[in-house]
Chains A and B, each alone.
Chain A
């Protein structure tokens, strides 16, 4: 088990990243908090050393993405989520970004991770492939289709390459 200092350091360092992953997938604060805490609990219990900071970050990204997917699949979540809570976090974002966030959140699940990892974290298709355990070509096509969907929603050249 990792030391308290190490875990607290990771919470400070990666909290925003994990929060964004959870937000993209779960869209409401209560669910986000559950998964958020669970990701760091897994980190605390993960004894194996990381090669470097990038390895640690990629591990946390993968755990967060998988935890969100597991949570979405769970019977409880599927049956209790209410329509009112879906947009609650989105509404808290500044007005000028709300449209973009809305477009990202409305993407089908399979595009969300690649869009986030590419546009926010700047990962290449090869790196995303390693994190998500998918082939590079698959990532390229997911990125391409995801980008197309975003363009359709936002119009024109809103999205950079």
Chain B
């Protein structure tokens, strides 16, 4: 029997107009260099480039998020410093003395917002024993201008509710590297710089072992006794002063102190 399928399909043919329009289309594609069909090698190369691009973005994004852009130290006797990323989240925690180690051990601070981290530190059992009327609590903040104000307000809120002679201080970002070079937290280094204005014999190592309250006590005694300012009296010490960014910062920082549970500022 005749194959009717073949006969029926035989009548399906491309007409002359279709063939000509196809030839014209191909000719134009050749002229314009329009090659929608990519060769496998090109496709692979594109895939590799895309993959590399996304991996770079991911790695770059990770470092961008993890990079510390501001620092907050909490000094009582325990001396702790939190490095914050651009979203004000904790990216690293450093304890600068044994007491600080005892406080941060067992606390999970990384990834927390800075106010939450402050709360966790201050409410920890290890820290509570230091929060007496005899001790000062100093929050020291180093941040660039764009986020400094916001961080300052957050720290102010936290310290304002805590009492215990809390105060907060803002310092220039340049002080961060100096403090770390001396093995001190921002807050303690700042206190050391203030004390050194009266007593050029004091060293960073000595301050390492003192609590903030002890350093403050020394400063107050020096002020009361009309202590000398070595930077103005001794030319030799001027060199050290010039090398420190702190001499610049001392005129720029501001300090607020809270008494009891109120929000009184000095």
Check if B3 is an interface residue, CB within 8 A of chain A. Answer: yes
Checking A15, A89, A93, A120 against B6 with a beta-carbon cut-off of 8 angstroms, the contacting residue is A120
Check if B1 is an interface residue, CB within 8 A of chain A. Answer: yes
Which residues of A24-63 have CB atoms within 8 Å of chain B's CB atoms?
24, 33, 36-37, 40-42, 44-45
In the complex, what distance in Å separates the CA atom of A93 from the CA atom of B39? 39
Which residues of A90-117 have CB atoms within 8 Å of chain B's CB atoms?
93-94, 97, 100-101, 104, 115-116
Q: Is the CB–CB distance between A19 and B36 below 8 Å?
A: no
In the complex, what distance in Å separates the CA atom of A145 from the CA atom of B24? 41
Check if B225 is an interface residue, CB within 8 A of chain A. Answer: no
Q: A4-B30, A16-B13, A94-B11 are in contact. Are A40 and B4 (CB under 8 A)?
A: no
What's the dominant secondary structure at chain B's contact region? Answer: helix
Q: Is the CB–CB distance between A15 and B22 below 8 Å?
A: yes
Query: Which of A124-132, A135-143, A153-161 lies at the interface with chain B?
Result: A153-161
Contacts of B181 in A (CB 8 A): none
Q: Is the CB–CB distance between B27 and A97 below 8 Å?
A: no
Per-residue B-contact encoding for A1-34, CB less than 8 Å = 1, 0 else: 1001001100110011011100110000000010
Check if A150 is an interface residue, CB within 8 A of chain B. Answer: yes
Contacts of B129 in A (CB 8 A): none
In the complex, what distance in Å separates the CA atom of A160 from the CA atom of B29? 43
In the complex, what distance in Å separates the CA atom of A20 from the CA atom of B23? 18
Contacts of B8 in A (CB 8 A): 93, 97, 100-101, 104
Q: Is the CB–CB distance between B18 and A104 below 8 Å?
A: no
In the complex, what distance in Å separates the CA atom of A154 from the CA atom of B1? 14
B3 to chain A, nearest CB (A): 5
Residue of A nearest to B16 (CB): A15
Q: Is the CB–CB distance between A44 and B29 below 8 Å?
A: yes
Which residues of B48-68 have CB atoms within 8 Å of chain A's CB atoms?
none
Check if A119 is an interface residue, CB within 8 A of chain B. Answer: yes
Q: A11-B23, A158-B1 are in contact. Are A97 and B11 (CB under 8 A)?
A: yes
Which residues of B1-52 have CB atoms within 8 Å of chain A's CB atoms?
1-14, 18-19, 21-23, 25-27, 29-30, 35-37, 39
B209 to chain A, nearest CB (A): 72
Q: Is the CB–CB distance between A159 and B12 below 8 Å?
A: no
Residue of B nearest to A63 (CB): B37
Q: A16-B13, A19-B12, A93-B12 are in contact. Are A44 and B26 (CB under 8 A)?
A: yes
Checking B1, B14, B25, B39 against A15 with a beta-carbon cut-off of 8 angstroms, the contacting residue is B14
Q: Is the CB–CB distance between B23 and A115 below 8 Å?
A: no
Contacts of A1 in B (CB 8 A): 30
Contacts of A4 in B (CB 8 A): 26-27, 30
Q: Is the CB–CB distance between B25 and A37 below 8 Å?
A: yes
Q: Is the CB–CB distance between A36 and B22 below 8 Å?
A: yes
Checking B5, B18, B35 against A159 with a beta-carbon cut-off of 8 angstroms, the contacting residue is B5
- In the assembled complex, 13 residue pairs joining A and B whose CB atoms fall closer than 8 Å, in A order, are A11-B19, A15-B14, A19-B18, A36-B22, A37-B26, A44-B26, A93-B8, A94-B11, A100-B4, A115-B5, A119-B5, A120-B10, A158-B4
Q: Top 5 closest A-B pairs, CB basis? A: A97-B8, A15-B14, A100-B8, A19-B14, A119-B5
Which residues does B use to contact A, with CB under 8 Å?
Answer: 1-14, 18-19, 21-23, 25-27, 29-30, 35-37, 39
Q: 16 more A-B contacts (CB under 8 A) besides A4-B30, A159-B5?
A: A7-B26, A11-B23, A11-B26, A20-B9, A23-B12, A37-B21, A41-B36, A44-B30, A45-B37, A97-B11, A101-B12, A104-B8, A116-B9, A119-B6, A119-B9, A159-B3
